[in-house]
Amino acid sequence: GGSAMAAVRDVEIDPEGTFKYILVRLQRPAGGEQRDIVRGTKAAEFHNHIFEKVNPEMEKLGYECKCLGGGKIEHNSKDKKIRVFGLSTGYGKADHSVTVEILKKEYTDYEITWSDDKK
């Protein structure tokens, strides 16, 4: 059933600050359902650190993970603004417009923007 996938949150990012993020595609090995999730944290020095944490968690739930790219997120919770920008050296640039759509589901009352700026 869809219960395991429902248990996976669309977005897990730090509540404040500027940090690296990745866009990850989850897929059932036999094809079928897939969905994209956003993960970002200041704790990650490199983008692959985030993936190395997410991947085993998702494999336990029966998903194959693929990193679709990365970038940075600037999260200003006081002003309710999120800016998505930059890229990942290892994974390339995520499609920030996709990331913004996913973030909007979670942060419904935020102003969320993206650009291809490096900083």
The catalytic residue positions are 47
3-state secondary structure of 77: coil
Q: In 3D, which of 15, 25, 113, 32 has the Cα closest to residue 64?
A: 25
Question: Which residues define the annotated binding site?
Answer: 20
Measure Cα distances from 34 to 10, 100, 108 in Å: 12, 18, 23
Question: Which residues define the annotated binding site for substrate?
Answer: 20
In order, the DSSP letters of 25-38 are EEE-TTS--EEEEE
C-alpha 26/C-alpha 78 separation (Å) is 31
Strand 64-76 relative to strand 17-27, pairing: antiparallel
